[in-house]
């Protein structure tokens, strides 16, 4: 599985977003991680599907959309229509997770499932054959700059083993507290897509931060 770094624009300057995206786009990345928060599912508010539509017009980078919202069953298709390449829904927020994942795929996007730190891998088992990607939260969702939860490394490993046992091929992504140390443990456990917000955008040279992450996993 290819190794990807997905810089999270949550830590970029929203009033000058394209400037920050341009600072990182020539680092060999292929995707941006876009955090949608509604102030209900998580205690923070960011933006809605218009942001995805506008980014889709302004950059050729793939848009990895992390929906931290209530009622994703209603809103997820809107984000696929807006041009999101991967639409990721929290298992904890969805009533009909099987249906919403099918709908995302029907709109031509890739379907992703997200698990909060307290949600066991087993809870995802029935929908794993449908998904292109599973995102393991390595912090409580809602804010950038939080500390990595080390127990999540075992969870990544458990998911990777289950994937291999079931003969499936989905990507495993980790999100929260990823830096040049924590990325190594996550990669060794089986993750291949790494979201990094503050580690990339809080630094004066975002490209060198991406390079440090890639180097840490032997790329
Ligand atoms: C947190 C978001 C993350 C956030 C990660 O709820 O899902 O994508 O941007 O930020 P860092 O990398 O700073 O932990
Ligand atoms: Zn995220």
pLDDT-based confidence at 6, cuts 50/70/90?
very high
Residue 175 falls in the annotated catalytic set: yes
The CB of 8 under 6 Å from ligand 1? The reply is: yes
Alpha helices in the chain (DSSP H): 17-24, 49-58, 72-81, 97-106, 152-166, 182-189, 198-201, 206-216
**What tokens appear for 65 in the block?**
């959309």
pLDDT digits (tens, 9 = 90+) for 99-141: 999 999 999 999 999 999 999 999 999 999 999 999 999 999 9
Please indicate whether residue 209, judged by its CB atom, sits closer than 6 Å to ligand 1.
no
**Helix 17-24, helix 206-216: angle, nearest 10:** 40
**Alpha-helix residue ranges (DSSP H) falling in 25-138:** 49-58, 72-81, 97-106
- The whole-model pTM stands at 0.98
Selected catalytic residue, list 38, 64, 175, 185? 175
Please give the full DSSP string across 179-207, using - where no structure is assigned: -TTHHHHHHHHT--EEEESHHHHTSS-HH
pLDDT digits (tens, 9 = 90+) for 186-195: 999 999 999 9
């Amino acid at each position: 599985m290819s190794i990807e770094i997905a810089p999270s624009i949550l830590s970029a300057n929203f009033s000058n977003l394209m400037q920050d995206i341009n600072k990182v786009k020539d680092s060999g990345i292929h995707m941006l991680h876009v955090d949608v928060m509604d102030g209900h599912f998580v205690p923070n508010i960011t933006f809605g599907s218009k942001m995805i539509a506008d980014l889709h017009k302004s950059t050729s980078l793939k848009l990895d959309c992390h929906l931290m919202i209530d009622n994703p069953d209603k809103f997820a298709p809107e984000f696929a229509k807006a041009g999101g390449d991967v639409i990721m829904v929290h298992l904890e927020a969805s009533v009909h997770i099987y249906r919403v994942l099918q709908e995302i795929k029907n709109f031509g996007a890739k379907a992703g499932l997200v698990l909060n730190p307290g949600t066991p891998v087993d809870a995802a088992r029935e929908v794993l054959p449908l998904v292109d990607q599973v995102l393991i939260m390595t912090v409580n969702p809602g804010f950038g700059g939080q500390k990595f939860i080390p127990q999540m490394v075992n969870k990544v490993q458990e998911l990777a083993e289950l994937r291999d046992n079931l003969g499936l091929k989905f990507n495993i992504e980790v999100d929260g507290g990823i830096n040049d140390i924590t990325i190594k443990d996550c990669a060794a456990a089986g993750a291949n897509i790494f979201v990094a917000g503050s580690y990339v955008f809080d630094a004066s040279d975002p490209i060198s931060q991406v390079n440090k992450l890639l180097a840490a996993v032997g790329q």
